[in-house]
Amino acid sequence: MRCSWVIPLGVLALDQLSLERRDPTPEQTFPRLIKLLECRDCRKRQGFAAVVSRYAEMYPKINLAPFRKELVRALNDTNVEIRLFIAGAAPVAEMVGPEILLESLQPALTNSDARVQRVARGNLERAGITNVLTKIITVQ
C-alpha cells in the first residue's frame, strides 16, 4: 500500500476522534482506518494502530468481526508497539480471544524494555488473562 496520501487521512481521523465531536458514521470510517494498517512505513503504521485502537474504544458498537483478519495481522506485526496498541483496545481483545491475545503479547512480556513489559501485562490483565500471565512469567 502506498502511504503518500495517508497523512491527511490520519489527520482527518484524529480530528474525527477529538473529544469535542463524535463521528456520525463510525461504521463507514472504521474500514478506512483498518486499511491504513497496511501501510509499509512502520512509524505511520504505529500511529494508525493507535488511532484504530482508540476508535474501537470510542465506538464499541462497531462490528469488528469483518476486520478480524486485519486485526490479527496487526497483533502479529513485527513492531511491538503496534501489537500493544491493538491489544489495548478492549473490544479487539474480546473479539480475538485470550489465546490470540496472549500469543501476540508473549514476546512483549520478555522485552528488554520494562515499559513494554508493563503495558503488555496491563493489556493481558484488562483482558482477564492474569492466571496464564503468572505461568508464562514463572516458566521464563
pLDDT in tens, 39-52: 999 988 998 999 89
Burial of 2 (0-12, 13-18, 19+ CB in 10 A): exposed
Which of residues 136 and 42 earns the better pLDDT score?
42
**DSSP state at residue 78:** S
What does pTM read for this prediction?
Answer: 0.81
pLDDT of residue 132: 56
Q: Would you state the cell numbers that stand for residue 27, as one nine-digit string?
A: 461504521
Mean pLDDT for the stretch of residues 91-95: 95
For the chain, domains (ranges, CATH) are 6-139 (1.25.10.10)
CA distance 61 to 55: 11
Asked if the model's pLDDT at residue 21 lies above 90, the reply is: no
Q: Would you state the cell numbers that stand for residue 5, as one nine-digit string?
A: 496520501
